Amino acid sequence: MGIFSAKYRGYSKLAFQCILRKVTLRKCDTGVEEQIRTEMTAIASSVSPSAAGFTFKYYKMILWLLTIITLASGVLMLQGAYNFYQFGNCNGPNSDEFCIFNPTATLQTCTQFEGPRELKTPTSLQGHILSNGTVTVIEYGCLTCPFTKKIEPTVQKLLQKYIGRITFIFKPLPIASHNNSWTTAVATECSDQQGKYSQYRETVFEKQNEIKQRGLAVLIEIAESQELDIEKFEQCLNSTTANNLINETFEEGIKNGIYATPTFFVGNKSFVGNVLESELTNAIEDELQ
Partner 1 sequence: MNLEDIRKDFPIVSKVIYFDNACTSLKPVQVVDAERDFHLEIGACIGRSNHLLAEKASEATENSRRKISKFVGVKSEELVFTKNTTESLNLLANSLKIEKGKTVLSTVLEHHSVILPFRKMCREKRLNFEMLEPSGDGTFTKEQWEQAINENVALIVTHNANNTIVTSPPLEFIVKKAKKVGAKVVIDGAQGIPHGKFNLYNSGVDFLAFSGHKMLSTGGVGCLAGKKEALNELAPFLIGGGTVQQVDREKEVYQDSPSRFEAGIQNYGGIVALGAAVEYLEKVSNFLEAHEKKLSARLMQALQQVGAIVYGLEERNAPLASFNFARAKPHEVSLLLSKMSKICVRSGMFCAEPAMNFFGAREGAVRASLYFYNSVEEIEKFEKALLQIKQITGA
Say if CB 184 and CB 143 are below 8 A apart.
Answer: yes
Q: Which of 52, 63, 216, 220 binds partner 1 (CB under 8 A)?
A: 52
Q: Give the Cα separation of 90 and 99 in Å (integer).
A: 5
What is the Cα–Cα distance from 27 to 209, expressed in whole angstroms? Answer: 56
CA distance 217 to 210: 10
From CA 229, how far away is CA 233, in angstroms rounded?
A: 6
As a whole number of angstroms, the distance between CA 271 and CA 134 comes to: 20
Smallest gap from residue 5 Cβ to partner 1 (A): 17
Q: Which is nearer to partner 1, 52 or 105 (CB)?
A: 52
Out of 2, 21, 37, 179, the only residue in the binding site for partner 1 (CB under 8 A) is: 37
Q: Which is nearer to partner 1, 26 or 57 (CB)?
A: 57
Output helix, strand, coil percentages for the chain, rounded to the nearest 5: 55, 10, 35
Alpha helices in 93-167 (DSSP H): 146-150, 152-161
Taking the least distance from each CB to partner 1, the nearer of 55 and 106 is: 55
Binders of partner 1 in range 3-32 (CB under 8 A): 31
Which part of the chain contacts partner 1 (CB under 8 A), choosing from 14-22, 39-47, 217-225, 230-238?
A: 39-47
63 binds partner 1 (CB under 8 A): no
Evaluate whether 112 touches 119 at the Cβ level (below 8 Å): no
- For residues 44 and 142, which CB has a smaller minimum distance to partner 1 in the complex? 44
Residue closer to partner 1, measured from CB, 53 or 153: 53
Taking the C-alpha atoms of residue 166 and residue 158, their distance in angstroms, rounded to an integer, is 9
Minimum CB distance to partner 1, residue 23 (Å): 24
| Long-range CB contacts (within 8 A, 24+) of 45-53 | none
In whole angstroms, the minimum distance from the beta carbon of 1 to partner 1 comes to 16
Among 4, 23, 27, 49, indicate the residue that binds partner 1 (CB under 8 A): 49
Which one of 13, 19, 38, 47 is in contact with partner 1 (CB under 8 A)? 38
Q: What is the DSSP letter of 105?
A: G
The one among 1, 13, 16, 53 contacting partner 1 by CB under 8 A: 53
Q: Please tell me the distance from the alpha carbon of residue 236 to that of residue 245, in angstroms, as a whole number.
A: 12
Shorter beta-carbon distance to partner 1: residue 46 or 240: 46
Instruction: Residue 273: name the closest of 104, 126, 127, 159 by CA.
Output: 104
Residue 126 interacts with partner 1 (CB under 8 A)? no
Instruction: State yes or no: residue 213 binds partner 1 (CB under 8 A).
Output: no
CB of 52 or CB of 220, closer to partner 1 = 52
Kindly list the residues in this chain that would bind partner 1 in the complex (CB under 8 A): 31, 34-35, 37-39, 41-42, 45, 49, 52-53, 56-57
